[in-house]
Amino acid sequence: MNMNDLNERSIIVTGGASGIGAEAARRAAARGARVTVADLSVEAGQAVVAAIRADGGEAQFVRTDISVEDDVRRLVEEAVAAYGGLDGAFNNAGLPPFSSARNGMHPLAGLPAEAVTRSLQVNVLGCFLCLKYEIPAMLASGGGAIVNTSSANGLVAIPFSADYIAAKHAVIGLTKAAATDYATQGIRVNAILPGIIRTPMMLTATGGDAEAVDSFRKAMPIDRLGEPGEIAEVALYLLTDSASLMTGASVSVDGGQTAV
């Protein structure tokens, strides 16, 4: 057996309609996985599934708000029903910081409490709910692997992003807790910590402003933005048996951003 194989594995990708998640869904399907794409965004999610099928891959779309328990329960049920079980999950959906070119830039005391609540609901509770329903389905399938998307901001702060920084630190905590609780039961749980990646989320944060993009680029010693595929490849590796000793890890994929 090829240890790096995803062939015929049933895998959920949340946030699979855009950016990093869409790239991961496409690449997983190209490697033979049966992919359940979950997202709030119906049209874009269905387009990702259509592209996978056009290339001969297997995928389905399930409209999901990861912050709503019933949605997540149904997502996992649909993945199991369509593909006979659940072997892997990339819990990647997330909300960007409230501060943005559109909303203005807010130091901690200027952030509306509702913005922090929403960030915690999607980025933290959403991740918890995915773990809560995926893990029992994986136990029933004989084990599995999970990757949660944190961020370089799960380790270090940047200005004006307290909502996001708190949430992404918490994703690392959830990852360690889940890894600890299920390490002896054939379930591995790791976090991936992207640097600044060229996706719609990054463009929303900067409003496309060249100076803002430039300052993001300079935060990465590698002196360029990351591409979605560079995150997707590492996430998929963590889902394979090649990563069999890895659990509870925080894997930085950030061009050196958190090394300096």
Ligand X SMILES: NC(=O)c1ccc[n+]([C@@H]2O[C@H](COP(=O)([O-])OP(=O)(O)OC[C@H]3O[C@@H](n4cnc5c(N)ncnc54)[C@H](O)[C@@H]3O)[C@@H](O)[C@H]2O)c1
Residues of span 38-77 touching ligand X by CB under 6 A: 39-41, 64-67
Q: Which helix (H) or strand (E) holds 50?
A: helix 42-54
Residue 191 interacting with ligand X (CB under 6 A): no
Closest distance to ligand X from the beta carbon of 184 (Å): 29
Residues whose CB is less than 8 angstroms from the CB of residue 216 and which lie 6 or more positions away in sequence, other chains included: 196, 202, 206, 225
Position 196 contacts ligand X (CB under 6 A): yes
CA angle, 18 then 95 then 124, to 5°? 120
Contact between 35 and ligand X by CB under 6 A: the answer reads no
126 near ligand X (CB under 6 A): yes
Nearby residues of 208 by Cβ (< 8 Å), 6 or more positions away: 101
- Coil, strand or helix at 23: helix
Least gap, CB of 127 to ligand X (angstroms) = 9
Q: Compare residues 43 and 142 and give the one whose CB is closer to ligand X.
A: 43
Q: Does residue 88 bind ligand X (CB under 6 A)?
A: no
Which residue in 13, 19, 27, 62 binds ligand X (CB under 6 A)? 19
Sole binder of ligand X in the list 33, 93, 146, 232 (CB under 6 A) = 93
Q: How far apart are CA 116 and CA 109, in angstroms?
A: 11
Among 199, 206, 252, 258, binds ligand X (CB under 6 A): 199
Phi, psi angles (nearest 5°) of residue 171: -60, -35
Q: Judged by CB under 6 A, does residue 151 bind ligand X?
A: yes
Task: Give the tokens for residue 170.
Answer: 């918490």
User: Is 164 labeled as catalytic in the residue annotation?
Assistant: yes
The string of DSSP codes covering 105-159 is ---GGGS-HHHHHHHIIIIIIHHHHHHHHHHHHHHHTT-EEEEEE--GGGTS--T
| Catalytic residue (one of 133, 164, 182, 237) | 164
Chain residues that interact with ligand X, rule: CB under 6 A: 14-15, 17-21, 39-41, 64-67, 92-95, 122, 126, 149, 151, 194, 196-197, 199-202
